[in-house]
Amino acid sequence: MSKAYSFVRWPLRSALRTTVSTRFSLFHDPFLGKEQTMPYDVLIDPGHGGADSGAVNSKTNTLEKNLNMDSSLSVEYFLGQRGRTTKMTRTTDVDIDNYQRAYQGVREGAKIFVSVHHDSAEVGRSLVYHDNKAESIRLANKVAGYMGGISVVSMNQSPHGRLYIADFTTGPSILIEMGPTRPYTRDERIARCQLRPTPSRTSSPTTSRKLS
C-alpha cells in the first residue's frame, strides 16, 4: 500500500458525509445515482487500481493492484463457500476514490469492510490494520490468527497516516497487508491465505451474491 491518506482532506470529507446523510435519501447513492441494494455481509476492497498501481516490484514489474485483485477474488470465493454474501468495490482495473470505497459499504448496508493490500517488495510485511473500534479489533485478531498469527496493528501506527477504513462507520473495518509485492505461485497463495482457488466469474461489482 503506497498511497497515503491526507489529513488535510478529512474536514472536507467529514462535512460531505454529514451533508449526504441529512440531505439525501438513505436509498439513493449521491455519487452514482443508483438505488441501494439489500444489505450483505462483507464488502471486499481490492486496493488501488487503474493509474494507481500501488507498490511496484522493480525487479519483476509486479504491480500491487493486480495482487490485490487476485487475493480479493480468493477471499470472495472463500467467504461464499461459507454462506457469506459479498460485494467488491471493483472487479476491473479502475481507480476509485478511497472515501467512496468505504462509503459504498455504509450506503449499501454491508456488515463488514475488508480492504486487501500488499506491502512493498522490500519491506514485505503481513499484518492487519484495524480502525480502533472494539468489533474491528476482534475481527482483526480472528483474521490474523487464521492467517498464521500475523501482526495486528492500529491504523494509528500506519506509516501512511489516517487510513480510509475509518470512513466505514457501520461495523468492523480492517485493512490486510497480505505480504510483499512479488509474484506468488498458486500453491503459495493457497498456503499463505488458507483459501481455495477462485472459479471464473462474470458477475458485476454491484451484484450481491451468495455462493453455495
What's the chain's Rg over C-alpha atoms? 16
Cell of 95: 481507480
pLDDT at 135: 97
Over residues 94-119, the pLDDT tens digits come to 999 999 999 999 999 999 999 999 98
86 with 80: CB under 8 angstroms?
yes
Tell me how far apart the alpha carbons of residues 136 and 134 are, in angstroms, rounded to a whole number: 5
Q: What's the pLDDT tens digit per position in 117-155? A: 998 888 878 999 999 999 999 999 999 998 888 999 999
The ranges of the chain with pLDDT < 50 are 3-36, 195-212
- What does the domain layout of the chain look like in residue ranges? 40-197
Quick one: pLDDT at residue 111? 97
- CA separation, residue 62 to residues 40, 67, 118, 156 (Å): 32, 8, 11, 28
Helices 64-80 + 186-193 axis angle, to 10: 60
The CATH homologous superfamily of the domain defined by 40-197 = Zn-dependent exopeptidases (3.40.630.40)
The pairing of beta strand 112-119 with beta strand 42-46 = parallel
Task: Identify the pLDDT of residue 15.
Answer: 39
**pLDDT the model gives residue 193:** 53
Q: Check: pTM over 0.85? Answer yes or no.
A: no
- pLDDT of amino acid 191: 58
